[in-house]
Amino acid sequence: MKVVVVGGSSGIGEASAHRFLRLGADVTIAGRDQAKLTLAVGRLGKVRGVVADGASPESSKRLFDSVGEFDHLILALSGGRGAGPIATTSLDDIRSGFEGKLFAQLTVLKSALPYVKASVTFISAATAMAGMAGTAGLAAINGAVEALVRPLATELAPLRVNAVRPGVIDTPWWNGVPKAFKDAVFAQTERTLPVRRVGRPEDVAAAIVMVATNAFMTGTILDVSGGATLAH
């Protein structure tokens, strides 16, 4: 089994790479930052790291030309922009969120199509469904990612296409927001989420490996949010 995890140098992507490696897979991880990639390769061990920017068609094409045919594509990259109340969030920020996530995932997918043989797994987010104030931009971006899944599962068959929808997960993604905000979100999550804890990258990685390797699953969006989409 040959797997490419774009966004595999951190967080959910790295945990997915780790789980695939434990299954004996041949795994390539990709990310933009060489230093981050080198550290991840050091942590993961027997994995190939390739510097690539998923948002760039040329860079993505080079990545897949170098990998050749493979089985499972995991789209774990993220721009992280577009959050905030609609009255004070600029449209440029929301646009940049679409570029960094929806269009980057689509760019990677299009570059991978000549090579990927078994499955594609998008990563969306619980904001797509949770109806939380301050997340309209993120909801639009992640809702758009989820909207791709069903038509692509039909159009690209027999290639299988699924998405996994994480809730609040403790990954380095949260280093990009003010610490006080992160602490408040994590504390509220622990208090109010049906499962009473913040998610771990491994929680999401287990779902990613499951949808990628289950040959009877396609067109599915699997919620791994600890009930975040029920609570709101």
Distance CA 229, CA 53 (A): 31
Query: Out of 129, 136, 168, 228, which residue is the one contacting ligand NAP (CB under 6 A)?
Result: 168
Nearer to ligand NAP, 25 or 138 (CB): 138
Residue choice 44, 74, 77, 205 for contact with ligand NAP (CB under 6 A): 77
> What character string, x for contact with ligand NAP (CB under 6 A) and - otherwise, covers 102-141?
--x------------------x-x----------------
**Cα separation, 196 vs 231, whole angstroms:** 11
Q: Which of residues 7-36 bind ligand NAP (CB under 6 A)?
A: 7, 9-13, 30-33, 36
Distance CA 232, CA 230 (A): 6
Q: What is the DSSP string of 11-71?
A: HHHHHHHHHHHHTT-EEEEEES-HHHHHHHHHHH-S-EEEE--TT-HHHHHHHHHHH-SEE
Residue 40 CB, shortest distance to ligand NAP, in Å, is 7
3-state SS class at 157: coil
- Name the site residues for ligand NAP (rule: CB under 6 A): 6-7, 9-13, 30-33, 36, 52-55, 76-78, 101, 104, 123, 125, 166, 168-169, 171-173
